[in-house]
Amino acid sequence: MNVGHLNFFKVNKCGLYKVNDDNTYGLELSETFDLIQDWVGTKSLALTIPWDPKEKPNRSKCYCKDIYKDENTGDFLIMLWKSDTDSTGSLLGASEDGEIGSSSVVKYTNSYRGKKVIWGRPCFYWVIPELETIVSIKFDHSVCDSELFQDYVHSSITNRVKHSKRVKNKTEKGYIRLSNTDDEDLYKYMYRFDMKLRSLETTHTELGKLIPKITHIVRRETIIINPNDARADWLKTFSTLVPFVSGKKNAKTRQIEIKAEAKPSLNEVQEIIEKYSAEDREKRLWDNVGFATDKGITWVDKYRMRDIL
């Protein structure tokens, strides 16, 4: 049985905005994904990247493998294809010339000699405009990358989509602005798309029991160090007292843990959870934030809203 893990995101911003104005002037969720679906159409996979890879060499390439709209609910299901050339995990290949919706993929092997394919992994998203919610769906063979998803949507609307009754303008700094031709003053709107992981309400019984027991906030990070001296400055200062903190020879990074006494309020705990919880953090990863009690550490990811299908 293939199990999918769901993470829920609240859409904070989607649409055309004026400066210092939270009202939208078009391009809300439904229209945004209708236009992306129209633009993708029956294009081949290789033509669905919404930015020029030569101008963004450090950004992962991303394509649209499939997009479907349920006309009864107005929901969308979208499968992006994140190009990946590293050797970790199981890579799949999707044909460069394959049309949107094509189901053919091949598994990576060193001996593959078939048609040109884009090696990578699928990313699945469920868009629910009525609830202003995005749901990422993680299977064993897929990945989740909410930042890349936001990049894809924003870049599609500003770089690729054809807008009827709208005019594109480019600022001196290269930003795209959109004007509605029906407006008398042709105001140049900013398109914004932003979403954040939904967390459980702070009134949730389990969270309510945790807060009075919190003694410290814990933050773990991986830092880059000087390979010639694998100790941070504050460790060097106390080297005579704590010589055991010396880093490993030729190490390029160092894992550190900072623990600070704290008695956070409900609102502060909620802010920490929303800021630091991750959609797809692997258990083996060091970097994390948590709340320490006399019984151990509770990591923030525990309180993100999620489900299984």
Q: Does one domain contain both 182 and 272?
A: no
pLDDT of residue 166: 92
Token representation of residue 162: 């054809």
Give me the domain span that covers residue 279: 205-308
Closest CA to 297 of 289, 287, 307: 289
pLDDT of residue 88: 53
Q: Does one domain contain both 166 and 214?
A: no
Q: Does one domain contain both 84 and 61?
A: yes
Q: How far is CA 159 from the centre of its chain?
A: 20
Query: What are the backbone dihedrals phi and psi of residue 51, each rounded to the nearest 5 degrees, phi first?
Result: -140, 165
Select from 165, 197, 229 the last residue of a domain: 197
Q: What is the pLDDT of residues 4-41, one digit of tens each?
A: 788 889 999 999 999 999 999 999 999 999 999 999 99
Burial class (CB in 10 A: 0-12, 13-18, 19+), 259: middle
Q: Does one domain contain both 112 and 247?
A: no
* Mean pLDDT (whole number) for 56-64: 91
DSSP state of 36: H
When the pLDDT of each residue in the chain is averaged and rounded to a whole number, the result is 84
Q: Which of 134-143, 179-188, 233-242 has the highest mean pLDDT?
A: 134-143
pTM metric for this prediction:
0.70
pLDDT of residue 45: 93
Q: Does one domain contain both 190 and 227?
A: no
- The domain tally of the chain equals 2
Instruction: Identify the bridge partners of residue 121 per DSSP, sorted by sequence position.
Output: 82
pLDDT of residue 306: 61
> What confidence tier does 87 reach under pLDDT thresholds 50, 70, 90?
very low
Q: Does one domain contain both 192 and 210?
A: no
- Start-end of H helices in 140-242: 146-155, 205-210, 233-237
Token representation of residue 65: 């493998």
Is 273:304 a contact under the CB 8 Å cutoff? yes
pLDDT of residue 22: 94
CA–CA separation, 115 and 268 (whole Å): 53
Select from 197, 224, 243 the last residue of a domain: 197
Is 37:67 a contact under the CB 8 Å cutoff? yes
Select from 197, 226, 244 the last residue of a domain: 197
DSSP state of 47: G
Q: How far is CA 78 from the centre of its chain?
A: 14
Q: Does one domain contain both 228 and 154?
A: no
pLDDT of residue 107: 76
Q: Does one domain contain both 37 and 148?
A: yes
pLDDT of residue 229: 56
